[in-house]
Structure 1
Amino acid sequence: MRLPFFIILCLTILLSSCSQYQEVLRKDDIGKKYAFADSLYQMGKYRKGLKLMEQIVPLYRGKPQGEKLMFIYANTYYNLEDYYLAGYQFERFTQAYPQSDSVEVASFKSAKSFYELSPRFSLDQRDTHKGLEKLQEFINTYPNSDKRMEANELVAELREKLEKKEFKTAVQYLHVEDYKSAIEAFDNFITDNPGSIYRREAFFNRFVSAYKLAINSIPSLVQERLDIAKGHYKNFMKYYKDTDLASEAVEIYEDIERRTVTEETTPTI
């Protein structure tokens, strides 16, 4: 069965291209490697181009072509979603070529690479903190950048993730009945995150934690801790009396009042 001419032509071109690539890859002509790597990059063949770039990037440092090569080298890692190396290489680019026309783009992509490395909230958040630091640095350095709005959105997303982790840690203390640690954690959260979407729940859960600490205390500490819980109730109602958690808070407060009356009227023997 004869293959159509078009298919034969495509196969011939493909084989020829592969052969040429292997030849350039093997030989020591860095000029050809540079030109071929650039061509592959422009065509979106990043993995092939990367192999050539890895061979020649050190050889072009300090040369006129080095600026473009180092940028597309970093951007190749970025396009391949290897964000560790992309962030690192973009950082190196900004340090090596601070006057480059591409330095703003490189700074943003470096920061965004660290954003991309940020894991889900339940895991270690070192990369999230690094991403926040780099994005804020970009915003401060380029306040008029057309990437500023996107950078601010990424900052808000990373901050919300850190807030969520801090809030969930406090909730976990409540769930395992470590009420003292829960109260302290919710106190810190409320102080550190004044605009958080979890602030209402933090106020409520601090009150619940104080209530549960009180009713599970030894008798001599119950009244003192019930009074503290009342204070947390008042703080919650000050800001959130019209929210969906208010009715549950009132029920708990009514139980506190009953317990207070009972304790105060119990005769001492």
Structure 2
Amino acid sequence: MFLQRMKKGLLFLGVLLMLVSCGEYQKVLKSEDIGLKYSTAEQLYNEAKEENNKSKYRKALRLLEQIVPQYRGKPQGEKVTFLFADSYYQLGDDYLAGYQFERFTQAYPNSDKIEEAAFKSAKSYYFLSPRYDLDQTETLKAITELQKYIDSYPDGENIEEANKLATDLRVKLEKKAYQIAWEYYNKGEAGLPGQNYKAAVVAFTNFLNEYPGSPFREEAFYYRFAAAYELAVNSYEFLIKERLTDAQIYYNNYIRYYKEGSPYYEQIQALNRDLESRLQNF
């Protein structure tokens, strides 16, 4: 019975303290004293960081939003601006975190927090990158920001992660470029005669030139040849020989790099035997 009363008492005390705390916070929020808001925001931010408490980050952020403009150009401005950006970062608001950290690096290039801010800005943009089949504007932005960090801090404490994130994004761009080329091939004879196969040959060629080390390289070599072969055999009679000869060049490109045992080796050999047989008829 005594323990139950004690538990109820502690629970009541906790609720009471929380209400008092909330009341005090509301007073600070409505106060005109920017010094009080600054000290309260800093205390809430430090507690949030120590406790990994999202609620306190949100409270700190509300206060910081009110005072950032007043501290711009003042000695405390650097710290206020960093806490403001980092609160967004900790709350997972990647767009505003990236933007605010970017502003911080521009405003305070000599800050001892500049490397951390540059990395967090780039990482925030990384999280904004959509899946590969959507518009990749945000991906390009993230790669640019990560590369800035990598170039500026080659020995930085986050360099390994920055390189990994940049590689992830580049592979995403490669996958999109490869998918566009493959879609042309997959459409095949749909539309104008040979149009999609011709577009596929061009797209795969551009892909191989732009991404020479891509994990999709062998597939691109194979499908470029396959598209050229299909373009040739489905052409008007007077174009077939020339296009078969062009396809043979793409076959030679493939076997220069990939030998027996490669995933597409048997398929490409079968198509090439047919190609040679057709050429002999000319």
Whether TM-score is above 0.5 comes out as: yes
Gaps of 5+ in 2: 49-55, 189-195
Query: 2 CA distance for matches of 1:241 and 1:215?
Result: 25
**Structure 2 match to 1:173:** 184
Give the deviation of 1:143 after TM superposition: 1.6
**Structure 1 match to 2:66:** 55
Alignment partner of 1:199 is 2:217: yes
What's the TM-score, normalizing by structure 1? 0.94
Alignment partner of 1:257 is 2:261: no
**Structure 1 match to 2:52:** none
Equivalent residues in 2 for 1:143-182, closer than 5 Å: 143-177=154-188, 178-182=196-200
**Which stretch of the first structure deviates more once superposed, 197-206 or 27-36?**
27-36
**Structure 2 match to 1:116:** 127
The residue type equivalent to 1:228 in the other structure is D
Alignment partner of 1:69 is 2:90: no
Aligned residue among 22, 31, 36 for 1:18:
22
What are the superposed Cα offsets for residues 51-85 of structure 1, whole Å, 9 maximum, x if unpaired?
11111110111222211111010001111111111
The residue type equivalent to 1:194 in the other structure is P
What are the superposed Cα offsets for residues 76-109 of structure 1, whole Å, 9 maximum, x if unpaired?
1111111111111111111211111101111111
The residue type equivalent to 1:236 in the other structure is Y
**Structure 1 match to 2:111:** 100
Give the deviation of 1:43 after TM superposition: 2.2
Query: 1 CA distance for matches of 2:77 and 2:17?
Result: 31
Give the 3-state SS of the residue equivalent to 2:135 in structure 1.
Answer: coil
What are the superposed Cα offsets for residues 172-199 of structure 1, whole Å, 9 maximum, x if unpaired?
1111120111000001111111111011
The residue type equivalent to 1:5 in the other structure is G
The residue type equivalent to 1:220 in the other structure is F
Gaps of 5+ in 1: 265-269
Query: 2 CA distance for matches of 1:138 and 1:124?
Result: 24
Query: 1 CA distance for matches of 2:208 and 2:115?
Result: 36
The residue type equivalent to 1:190 in the other structure is L
The residue type equivalent to 1:181 in the other structure is A
Alignment partner of 1:46 is 2:54: no
**Structure 1 match to 2:39:** 35
Aligned residue among 250, 257, 260 for 1:232:
250
**Structure 1 match to 2:53:** none
Work out the percentage of aligned pairs sharing the same amino acid.
50
Equivalent residues in 2 for 1:177-188, closer than 5 Å: 177=188, 178-188=196-206
The residue type equivalent to 1:52 in the other structure is L
The residue type equivalent to 2:36 in the other structure is K
Give the deviation of 1:168 after TM superposition: 0.4
Give the 3-state SS of the residue equivalent to 1:120 in structure 2.
Answer: coil
Aligned residues: 263
Give the 3-state SS of the residue equivalent to 2:276 in structure 1.
Answer: helix
The residue type equivalent to 2:14 in the other structure is C
Alignment partner of 1:91 is 2:109: no
Query: 1 CA distance for matches of 2:250 and 2:205?
Result: 10
**Structure 2 match to 1:267:** none
